[in-house]
Amino acid sequence: MAYRAPAGRGYADVAAHFREQIKHGDLAPGDPLPSVGEIRQQFDVAAKTVSRALGVLKAEGLVTSRGALGTVVSKSAMVITGADRLDRMARNGLKYGHGETSSDHRVMRRSLHDPMVCQALEMEPGEEVVIRIRTFRQDDRPTSVGVSVYPPRAVSQVPELADEGRMARPWPDLFAERTGQELIRGQRIAKARQASADELEALGIDAPQHISVAVLVTAQAFHDEDGPIAFWEDVYAPGTEMPLSD
């Protein structure tokens, strides 16, 4: 069925379609986009609309012109948050984007003292949590550090959270399967702050001790019907680009 965008917004919707495909890994770096004629037919829009949509994607650094190859996806893929990673896995089963891997997986039990995390999980300082940490890499370059914090009741439902190594299945899927509850995502927030020494090491940043390095951090809590049950944080290397939801 032809897609008819609202009047005056056709180019934005065409651009959004391919942006989502790139974000979720349906289109990999180097993959060609359909020809102008094919896009016109798919969306039932004018050539000018297609040209404008491709111009938007080029300005965002997502695609580039390659002569006879037409328009292809750029090499620099977007880095996404842990929650967006869940969406991608639900959509096409891809845990990692093209050229993406993860390393330095660590699992630890710690007393919780971070005021923001205590508030998000409704826990008192000093209570024990399970923390899972891993570094995501694009073409072997560190791009972000993912940190997941789980209170005891989450671990009681999914004991695998406390096991060393990578989990075979996504935690939200195991939780839903065993409890019959779907997780609710809280508001995702973003902030800039000074990177810790551990974060600098994980991201491969060699900075003198007296130099502060700013990093972008996104955070999001997950809830079930009884309250908050997980807190996820992503720390991005300087210069890394990540998409923001509307």
CATH numbers and ranges of domains, the chain: 10-73 (1.10.10.10), 82-236 (3.40.1410.10)
Query: Where is average pLDDT lowest: 33-47, 75-89, 207-221?
Result: 75-89
Tell me the average pLDDT across 13-33. Answer: 90
Q: Examine the pLDDT at 89 and tell me if it is beyond 70.
A: yes
User: Does residue 8 register a pLDDT over 70?
Assistant: no
What is the pLDDT averaged over residues 48-71?
Answer: 90
Confidence (pLDDT) at 240: 84
In this prediction, what percent of the chain has a pLDDT beyond 90? 66
Higher pLDDT, 23 or 194: 194
CA distances from residue 3 to 11, 12, 26, 118, 239 in whole angstroms, order as listed: 12, 13, 19, 47, 36
Looking at the predicted structure, is the pLDDT value of residue 7 above 70?
no
Q: What pLDDT was estimated at residue 23?
A: 84
pLDDT at 217 over 50: yes
Closest CA to 111 of 131, 97, 132: 131
d(CA 62, CA 124): 44
Is residue 4 over pLDDT 60?
no
Task: Identify which of 105, 125, 115, 79 has the alpha carbon closest to the alpha carbon of residue 218.
Answer: 79
Averaging pLDDT over each range in 56-60, 84-88, 126-130, 191-195, which range is the top one?
Answer: 126-130
Q: Phi/psi at 184 (nearest 5 deg)? A: -110, 130
Predicted TM-score (pTM) of this structure? 0.81
3 state SS for 66-105: CHHHCEEECCCCCCCCHHHHHHHHHHHCCCCCCCEEEEEE
Percentage of residues in the chain having pLDDT higher than 70: 94
pLDDT (tens digit, 9 = 90+) per residue, 132-152?
999 999 889 999 999 999 999
